[in-house]
Chains A and B, each alone.
Chain A
Amino acid sequence: QSVVTQPPSASGTPGQRVTISCSGSSSNIGSYSVNWYQHLPGTAPKLLIYGNSQRPSGVPDRFSGSKSGTSASLAISGLQSEDEADYYCAAWDDSLNGPVFGGGTKLTVL
């Protein structure tokens, strides 16, 4: 079981706003920036958010990230069918002395 926790699933209808939470501890999220990845099975994972809230070039502004204390969240507004994927949060972890991932959240667009 990962030291960073995400809900296993989330869902929404097209156009809706959904949020995915990510909970950690002082040895990871509480001390370091959070990154988010989007992963469609069979493809390369894609960096979605870095440094808690920064979007790489090409990522739509429908995606936003935030962090408070030992928790972080990813928000997706104007939900689209192509957003159906697995989403992972990650942060540096002092105990691991490496990057640690959440267990992933499978987003379903109804």
Chain B
Amino acid sequence: QLQESGPGLVKPSQTLSLTCTVSGGFISTAGYYWSWLRQHSGKGLEWIGYIYHSGSSYYNPSLKSRLSISVDTSKNQFSLNLSSVTAADTAVYYCARFTRPHWSGYFDSWGQGTLVTVSS
């Protein structure tokens, strides 16, 4: 199981920070990428990026300059930091587990999602 946590309201130009806690398994288990996705209101799903337990991370090029994903295997958590946010970053954010290898991978476990609103 995966569970997102973090502030539901972030001011423009600040950093959006979310954490995903993994339960029922170890984040250090081989074969999975730990992922963040988002869904703008009325829109489809957008992959943000993912990280392997070793710390290797891969980002959506459209967000790469503002994005950082980290992993803490001791806490069985991984985190998202998105800097310089604007109203366009208002969305429901999901954490999910993505299987390897990446070219045939799929998201087989998801969090419930958390709404983050960017507003002053």
Interface size on B, residues (CB 8 A): 23
Q: How many A-B pairs with Cβ below 8 Å?
A: 64
Q: Is A90 an interface residue (CB 8 A)?
A: yes
Chain B contacts of A2 at CB under 8 A? 44
A56→B108 contact, CB < 8 A: yes
B94 at the interface (CB under 8 A from A): yes
- Report how far A56 CA is from B109 CA in the complex, Å: 11
Instruction: Kindly provide the distance from the CB of B82 to the nearest chain A CB, expressed in whole angstroms.
Output: 16
Residues of A within 8 A of B106 (CB): 35, 47, 50-51, 90
Q: Is the CB of A47 within 8 A of B61?
A: no
Q: Given A32-B103, A101-B47, A104-B45, check contact A96 B111 (CB 8 Å).
A: no
Using a CB–CB distance below 8 Å, which chain B residues touch chain A? 43-47, 49, 58, 60-61, 94, 96, 98, 102-108, 110-113
CB pairs A–B below 8 angstroms (21 shown): A2-B44, A35-B106, A37-B45, A42-B113, A44-B110, A44-B111, A44-B112, A45-B45, A45-B96, A47-B106, A47-B108, A88-B44, A90-B45, A92-B103, A97-B61, A98-B47, A98-B60, A99-B98, A101-B44, A101-B46, A104-B45
